Structure 1
Amino acid sequence: MNAAIAPTLDDVAVLLPAYNCQADLERTLASFKEPATVHVLVVDDGSTPPVVAPAMPGLRIDVLRLTPNGGIERALAAGVEVLAARGVRYIARIDAGDLAVPNRLVMQRDWLDAHPDVGALGMRADVVTPDGTFLFKLDVPTDPARIRRVRFARSCFVHSSMMLRTQAVVDAGNYRARYRAAEDLDLFLRIMRTGACANLPQTGVYYELNPGGISATKRRTQIRSTLALQCRYFNPANPYDWIGLAKNLLHFVVPHTWLGALKRRVLRGAARAE
């Protein structure tokens, strides 16, 4: 009888941008539990003091240092360039402070191997506070056709849960700073020009709701960028595009704290109903 072949993750690398977040970085790295060595590229975006790669079992960590601090868009683009040059087939995203569920990388890599038309694959998320307290589940549509229809009417991806086909990212033009704080949506829309994006129905990440995160600190920049993308890709025959436009205009004028409280109340109510 042939011995079982041990799984490997040599075709996958985790891309993790970091800026002045050593403790959060280490918590995130420690969360990876996979049946094979996990390769990680940390992009230190001008941290002071510089990020230090911890020694952790099961992880092989490299650090790419950028100076001065230039923002997450530049950090992600630089990381993709390095990993593409190394011949990495799949790039898994996560942010410092977020935690990966066990076997997330194997699950996503195997699914992408079986679906070569999909350029980006996400998962659902449990939203937690910085101390780990559960707040609510962040659901996302799974079907590529539905994602294409509702992509502006609702959040379709958790960036920190995504696994990207490296060639699809390169073909789409990589991350860019043209739409600041919405660099992920910009990339996914360009991938969907020629391919598909999808989500798995399982939870893949514990997403930290951080008041210091981009969605909070750069909220108006993010909304402006999202509105610009909506106008660029607007399809007047799709009612969901109209809904998304109205929704983001509302976000622009209503305080973030009000909308956040309403969203948490609705999602908690939905969770209780289940």
Structure 2
Amino acid sequence: MNALSDVAILMPAFNGQAEVERTLASFRETSPVRVLIVDDGSTPPISAPVIDGMHIEILRMPKNGGIERALEAGVEALAARGVRYAARIDTGDLATPGRLAKQRAYMEAHPRVAVLGMWTHVVSTDGAPLFDLTPPAEPAAIRRAVLARTCFTHPSLMLRVDAVIEAGNYRAQYRAAEDLDLILRLLKRHDGANLPEFGLFYELNEGGISATKRRTQVFSTLRLQLRHARATNPLDWLGIAKSIAHLVLPYRVLRGLKARLMKTTASA
């Protein structure tokens, strides 16, 4: 029996055939793995690589519509195929060995959890380590802090497909913050958690940072924070203040402040 028969990797892709192949080749599982690549209007179209232990299917979008629409279509396709768990990853990122089996086992043992992340190594485009993301693991801690800090690394998530459909799926209402939008809706009826071990190498491409996209993401996040803020939770208001600072201060200033803060924390 295939222990991962009800799991599928969900990966949107826009161009970057080599990155698609490198990312999928990073998975090391003891059972065969299903993959759904959502080709978001690539030119030339993405082709399915041949990788031992993987059954790869491509869903082609008629034109490039952005990651939000690609993920929405991908989840709908997985639901139609009877897949229970969708494991997210993005092109360029790498999985650690056994990630899918570990996440599935946790979700089977914790049926209230609809969204499960893992800790993340953040690396440069040449693979050099930059820093680690170790968000809270327990559902209660995540609920308290979800509007104040990044509690999940989106490409590390495993999602219950039926819960995502019930919550309204991914949507384009909050551009560049589609993950936070979905997570907040999932947490209304379900729990979220993180496995406190590393499951992902996340590639940070500083050269690809767009000021327009960054402002869109921060503005979408601020809208979500204002909509979901709890008057009695000071962390929610801290998150709102941080988003306002991101809108007001130049990116280079914020990077400098973050670097000094991380250095101070590391030496404490």
Would you say same fold, with TM above 0.5? yes
Q: Which piece of structure 1 moves more, 217-226 or 261-270?
A: 261-270
Correspondences of 1:10-21 after superposition (within 5 Å) = 10-21=5-16
How far did residue 261 of structure 1 move?
Answer: 3.9
How far did residue 60 of structure 1 move?
Answer: 1.1
1:82 aligns with 2:77: yes
Summarize the Cα distance change of 1:110–1:41 in structure 2 as closer, same or farther, 3 Å threshold. Answer: same
1:30 aligns with 2:25: yes
Check conservation: 1:122, 1:199, Cα contact below 8 A.
Answer: yes
Check conservation: 2:4, 2:32, Cα contact below 8 A.
Answer: yes
Matches of 2:37 and 2:205, distance apart in 1: 20
Matches of 1:92 and 1:214, distance apart in 2: 25
Output the amino acid matched with 2:115.
A
1:252 corresponding residue in structure 2? 247
2:57 corresponding residue in structure 1? 62
Check conservation: 1:136, 1:268, Cα contact below 8 A.
Answer: no
Matches of 1:75 and 1:133, distance apart in 2: 30
Output the amino acid matched with 1:131.
D
1:51 aligns with 2:46: yes
Q: Deviations over 1:1-59 (max 9, x none)?
A: xxxxx652111000000001111111101100000111110000000111111111111
What SS does the aligned partner of 1:218 have? Answer: helix
After TM superposition, the score normalised by the length of structure 1 is 0.93
What SS does the aligned partner of 2:206 have? Answer: coil
Matches of 1:57 and 1:270, distance apart in 2: 43
2:162 corresponding residue in structure 1? 167
Summarize the Cα distance change of 1:111–1:214 in structure 2 as closer, same or farther, 3 Å threshold. Answer: farther
Matches of 1:259 and 1:31, distance apart in 2: 33
What SS does the aligned partner of 1:73 have? Answer: helix
Matches of 1:248 and 1:49, distance apart in 2: 38
Summarize the Cα distance change of 1:11–1:268 in structure 2 as closer, same or farther, 3 Å threshold. Answer: farther
Gaps of 5+ in 2: none
1:208 corresponding residue in structure 2? 203
Gaps of 5+ in 1: 1-5
> Which of 88, 93, 114 is the equivalent residue of 2:109?
114
How far did residue 141 of structure 1 move?
Answer: 0.8
Matches of 2:210 and 2:53, distance apart in 1: 32
2:236 corresponding residue in structure 1? 241
Check conservation: 1:135, 1:264, Cα contact below 8 A.
Answer: no
Q: Which piece of structure 1 moves more, 159-168 or 208-217?
A: 208-217
How far did residue 255 of structure 1 move?
Answer: 1.7
Summarize the Cα distance change of 1:16–1:231 in structure 2 as closer, same or farther, 3 Å threshold. Answer: same
Check conservation: 2:20, 2:92, Cα contact below 8 A.
Answer: yes
Matches of 1:54 and 1:217, distance apart in 2: 33
After TM superposition, the score normalised by the length of structure 2 is 0.95
Check conservation: 2:6, 2:83, Cα contact below 8 A.
Answer: yes
Output the amino acid matched with 2:257.
L
What SS does the aligned partner of 1:112 have? Answer: helix
- Moved segments of 4+, more than 4 Å: 212-217, 268-273
Summarize the Cα distance change of 1:156–1:210 in structure 2 as closer, same or farther, 3 Å threshold. Answer: same
What SS does the aligned partner of 2:159 have? Answer: strand
Output the amino acid matched with 2:61.
L
How far did residue 271 of structure 1 move?
Answer: 5.0
1:191 aligns with 2:191: no
Matches of 1:7 and 1:212, distance apart in 2: 41
Check conservation: 2:2, 2:32, Cα contact below 8 A.
Answer: no
Q: Which piece of structure 1 moves more, 48-57 or 101-110?
A: 48-57
> Which of 120, 129, 134 is the equivalent residue of 1:125?
120
Summarize the Cα distance change of 1:263–1:177 in structure 2 as closer, same or farther, 3 Å threshold. Answer: same
